[in-house]
Amino acid sequence: MPYCEVGRYADGDKWEGVRVYYRRYGRGATKVLLIIGLAGTHDSWGPQIKGLTGSLEPADDEALRPDEEAAGGDGDGIEVCCFDNRGAGRSSVPPNKSYYSTAIMATDALALMDHLGWKKAHVFGHSMGAMIACKLAAIAPHRLCSLALLNVTGGGFQCFPKVDGQMLSLAFRFLRAKTPEERALVDLETHYTKEYLEETVGSCTRRMVLYQEYVKGISSTGMQSNCGFEGQINACWTHNMTTKELDTIRSAGFLVSVIHGRYDIIAQLCHAKRLAESLLPVARMVELHGAHLVSHERPDEVNNALMDLIKATGSAMKPEEWSAQPENTSGKLKKTKHLRFLFKANCSGSNLLRCVLIRDRGTHFREAHYRHDANR
């Protein structure tokens, strides 16, 4: 089994190692590290693994290869690595929540990159995994080729969903779920839009198909332990990106894509937009018709956005071009007039600040060239 020891923790009078379980897919000079979210496991990245590498067949794990990029590469292919975060799946479950934070888990990801012999990688994270990816980008910006943040928030109070009757019911059922069947029912309602679940697939609905897949998946890895869940919740709750950390990411020289489902009831869209705005001009906001697991609900659009990021990085696209280009998103595209402003700040030798603003219905300004909204 492919494991990597990423750290140690004190357990009474002895020290225990923390091991993360990982899988690699595809081969090539382009490296992509996928970081999954709260309570998730590596196989949740299935649609992206298939989209990026063309296969769901794990690569040979008998021996680690030297960094293919340094060794001359392996063509134009893409190699993907995804893993179970500490506290979930087949990875170690440290017993105290103090052993869980997005910074600690970012160092887990760095240790895995070292283990693989990867000097640099495109780092893509989903939900809590996107928080971890942010920390990784701030801690070791020289190790990133690009950064993609899917369904991300800024942690802390931003982790709270919009509270209504539906969300209270889901939270109550989630906490009471003791079996894979009970957990699967809740996960489906939080991960996808209702219309997607009710689509017909063959002779039944997509909800029925996904329910069977979820039960099978949860049963194969087992229900997440209370300790692991509480630890990962602590990581989300204590997560925070300081102004200095955001400045580090913005000035690191790599491009950022913030991808979000507009009907996400867990990670609210407004928080992702605010983060994207704080990372201008290196960040592009991609808003899609989907919910929290938009990577599954809209896999083609998400994969296209990720490939756009990889290609833009390869072509050394300038940040201003990246953030200013219109993004093809799902639904009806609405063009709006845009105004380009260039501000120059001379205080304390600060860098040139460029902002691209558009006028939305003549009253509000938003950070993009094109505003896409299926409801308009």
- Give residue-wise pLDDT tens across range 1-31: 799 999 998 887 888 999 999 999 999 999 9
Q: What is the mean pLDDT of residues 229-241?
A: 96
The CATH label, of 2.40.50.100, 3.40.50.410, 3.40.50.1820, 3.10.310.10, for the domain at 3-162+226-324 is 3.40.50.1820
Checking if the pLDDT of 337 tops 50, the result is no
3-state secondary structure the chain: CCEEEEEEEEECCEEEEEEEEEEEECCCCEEEEEECCCCCCHHHHHHHHHHHHCCCCECCCCCCCCCCCCCCCECECEEEEEECCCCCCCCCCCCCHHHCCHHHHHHHHHHHHHHHCCCCEEEEEECHHHHHHHHHHHHCHHHEEEEEEECCCCCHHHHCCCCCHHHHHHHHHHHHCCCHHHHHHHHHHHHCCHHHHCCEECCEEHHHHHHHHHHHHHHHHCCCCHHHHHHHHHHHHHCCCCHHHHHHHHCCCCEEEEEEECCCCCCCHHHHHHHHHHCCCCEEEEEECCCCCHHHHCHHHHHHHHHHHHHHHHCCCCHHHHHHCCCCCCCCEEECCEEEEEECCCHHHCCCEEEEEEEECCCEEECCCEEECCCC
Task: Answer with the residue of higher pLDDT: 336 or 171.
Answer: 171
As a whole number of angstroms, the distance between CA 247 and CA 215 comes to: 42
Q: Which of 78-82, 127-131, 230-234, 342-346 has the lowest mean pLDDT?
A: 342-346
Task: Answer with the residue of higher pLDDT: 29 or 372.
Answer: 29
In the prediction, which pLDDT does 67 show?
52
> What is the pLDDT confidence band of residue 246, given thresholds at 50, 70 and 90?
very high
pTM of the model: 0.83
> What is the pLDDT confidence band of residue 168, given thresholds at 50, 70 and 90?
confident
Checking if the pLDDT of 330 tops 90, the result is no
Calculate what percentage of the chain has a pLDDT beyond 70. Answer: 82
> What is the pLDDT confidence band of residue 310, given thresholds at 50, 70 and 90?
very high
In the prediction, which pLDDT does 318 show?
96
Checking if the pLDDT of 200 tops 50, the result is yes
In the prediction, which pLDDT does 135 show?
98
In the prediction, which pLDDT does 362 show?
30
> What is the pLDDT confidence band of residue 325, given thresholds at 50, 70 and 90?
confident
In the prediction, which pLDDT does 352 show?
31
As a whole number of angstroms, the distance between CA 56 and CA 26 comes to: 9
Task: Answer with the residue of higher pLDDT: 328 or 231.
Answer: 231
Q: What is the mean pLDDT of residues 119-134?
A: 98
